[in-house]
Chains A and B, each alone.
Chain A
Amino acid sequence: EIVLTQSPGTLSLPPGERATLSCRASQSLSSSYIAWYQQKPGQAPRLLMYTASTRATGIPDRFSGSGSGTDFTLTISRLEPEDFAVYYCQQYHNSFTFGGGTKVEIK
Chain B
Amino acid sequence: QVTLRESGPAVVKPTQTLTLTCTFSGFSLNTARMCVSWVRQPPGKALEWLALIDGDDDKLYSTSLKTRLTISKGTSKDQVVLSMTDMDPMDTATYFCAKTHSSGWLEQWGQGTLVIVSS
User: Shortest Cβ distance from A91 into chain B, in angstroms?
Assistant: 8
With contacts A44-B109, A44-B112, A45-B109 taken as known, whether A99 is within 8 angstroms of B104 at the C-beta atoms is no
Apart from A33-B103, A44-B96, A90-B106, 10 more pairs, CB < 8 Å: A37-B47, A45-B106, A50-B103, A88-B47, A92-B103, A95-B60, A96-B37, A96-B104, A101-B46, A101-B47
Which A residues fall within an 8 A CB radius of B?
1, 33, 35, 37, 39, 43-47, 50-51, 56, 88, 90, 92, 95-101
A90, B41: Cα distance in complex, Å: 14
Chain B count of residues within 8 A CB distance of the other chain: 23
A33, B46: Cα distance in complex, Å: 19
With contacts A44-B112, A95-B63 taken as known, whether A50 is within 8 angstroms of B46 at the C-beta atoms is no
Residue of B nearest to A98 (CB): B47
A100, B41: Cα distance in complex, Å: 11
With contacts A96-B37, A96-B49 taken as known, whether A47 is within 8 angstroms of B105 at the C-beta atoms is yes
Q: Once the chains bind, are A92 and B104 in contact (CB under 8 Å)?
A: yes
Taken residue by residue from 51 to 67, chain B's Cβ proximity to chain A (1 for < 8 Å, 0 otherwise) reads as 01000000010111000
Which B residues fall within an 8 A CB radius of A?
37, 39, 46-49, 52, 60, 62-64, 96, 101, 103-112
Residue of B nearest to A50 (CB): B105
User: Shortest Cβ distance from A35 into chain B, in angstroms?
Assistant: 4
In the bound complex, residues from chain A placing their C-beta under 8 Å from that of B107 are 47, 56
Q: Once the chains bind, are B47 and A45 in contact (CB under 8 Å)?
A: yes
Residue of A nearest to B4 (CB): A44
User: Shortest Cβ distance from B80 into chain A, in angstroms?
Assistant: 16
In the bound complex, residues from chain B placing their C-beta under 8 Å from that of A100 are 46
Residue of B nearest to A54 (CB): B105
In the bound complex, residues from chain A placing their C-beta under 8 Å from that of B52 are 96
Q: Once the chains bind, are B63 and A35 in contact (CB under 8 Å)?
A: no
A95, B100: Cα distance in complex, Å: 13
